[in-house]
Amino acid sequence: MLGATTDNLLETTLMDRKRIFNLGYYTWVEQQGISIEDFLARKEPSFWTEMRGIVPAWDAMIDEFNARTGVLDRL
């Protein structure tokens, strides 16, 4: 993302944003088995605000995985 310019951005309309959101239906609901209720919950800003509380736990799990596998040593 470093060095990205406005040439790499797309200004979207509400219809564009809905279309982009709905592209996830196949991936999450049909392929991953996520309930439609959980999928649609992502439309609400409160969903993302509440997610902030679990990010530190995810970061810790990622750090533990990276340490266990040595993946960062290969870079």
CB neighbours of residue 14 within 10 Å: 7
List of residues 6+ apart from 16 with CB closer than 8 A: 10
Distance separating alpha carbons of residues 29 and 32, to the nearest angstrom: 6
Residue 1 has pLDDT above 70, yes or no: no
pTM of the model: 0.60
Please give the C-alpha separations between residue 16 and each of 7, 11, 21, 39, 59, in angstroms, as whole numbers. 18, 9, 9, 18, 31
Mean pLDDT across the stretch 54-70? 95
